[in-house]
Amino acid sequence: MKQPPLLDVDPTARRDEDFYATPRWQTHALLRRICRLGSWHGLRFFEPCAGDGAIVRELPRHWHVTTNDIVAREPLLPDFLLDARRAESWDRFGSFDVIGTNLPFDVAFDIAPYAYSHADGLLALLLRLSWLEPTEDRGPWLRDHRPTSLIVLPRTDYRGNGKTDSVTSAWFLWDRGLGLGLPATDFVTKDERDELIAKYGKAA
């Protein structure tokens, strides 16, 4: 599925399935911090909302990567085409060492608890920082499933129209026994972002 460009007359319009590709530098900011896993041959990685494959294209080639999305977006043909909001989909996916994804924000809490329960080692979710707000639906879950680390990112133009969200994004990490020893809060500075862009490129 090719995503049509957003109309300039409506810069707030949401894309189909709330899809916004993850810039390469954001994935590498995460990989830099979990670098201990880079030498883990045979690591089972799952991307439940893989989109066009922006995240999985950056992963180490010796990891075993499984992908899913509700629709197929070129150039990626996912291993599954299932709705990650449904328990029966996760019954088919199974469990993985690491689950990492850029969740569609409008359905993030429909998916996050399933991802948490199926990540044997690490769950990494890219979300707006405002997802920490203990709203009525996710507040009790967040209280009982606190992220072990946050990697806060500079604001990003996901739409490609020169505008950023009112709240920045962060990688939310739940270390489920790997003992990565990451700080509770880490920050990708603009200098680090620019360094990563220079090394890997900006586009997804």
- Shortest CA distance to 37 belongs to which of 60, 12, 66? 60
Q: What is the CATH number of the domain that holds 125?
A: 3.40.50.150
Rounded Cα–Cα distance for residues 145 and 27 (Å): 23
Q: Is residue 196 part of a domain?
A: yes
pLDDT at 204 (0 to 100): 60
**Cα distances (Å, whole numbers) of residue 168 to 125, 157, 164, 174, 187:** 14, 10, 8, 19, 12
Rounded Cα–Cα distance for residues 28 and 193 (Å): 10
SS (H, E, C) 71-86: CCECCECCCECCCCCC
pLDDT at 161 (0 to 100): 64
Q: What is the maximum span of the chain, computed from C-alpha positions, in angstroms?
A: 48
Q: Which residue has the tokens 């599954």?
A: 80
- Across residues 120-144, what is the average pLDDT? 97
| Dihedral angle, C-alpha 122, 123, 129, 133, nearest 10 ° | -110
Q: Is residue 4 part of a domain?
A: no
Q: Is residue 5 part of a domain?
A: no
Q: Is residue 79 part of a domain?
A: yes
Residue 166 pLDDT level (bands cut at 50, 70, 90)? confident
Q: Is residue 121 part of a domain?
A: yes
Q: Is residue 7 part of a domain?
A: no
Domain with 162, as residue range(s), is 17-200
pLDDT tens profile 76-127 = 999 999 999 999 999 999 999 999 999 999 999 999 999 999 999 999 999 9
- Shortest CA distance to 134 belongs to which of 122, 126, 145? 145
Give the total number of structural domains in the chain. Answer: 1
Q: Is residue 1 part of a domain?
A: no
Residues in CB range of 163: below 8 A, 6 or more apart: 11, 157
Q: Which residue has the tokens 């509770």?
A: 184
pLDDT higher than 80, residue 176? yes
Q: Is residue 104 part of a domain?
A: yes
Tell me the three state secondary structure of residue 173. Answer: strand
Q: Where does the chain show beta strands of DSSP type E? A: 44-47, 64-67, 96-102, 119-128, 149-152, 169-175, 185-187
pLDDT tens profile 43-71 = 999 999 999 999 999 999 999 999 999 99
Tell me the three state secondary structure of residue 112. Answer: helix
Residues in CB range of 43: below 8 A, 6 or more apart: 37, 60, 62, 63, 64, 97, 98
Residue 75 pLDDT level (bands cut at 50, 70, 90)? very high
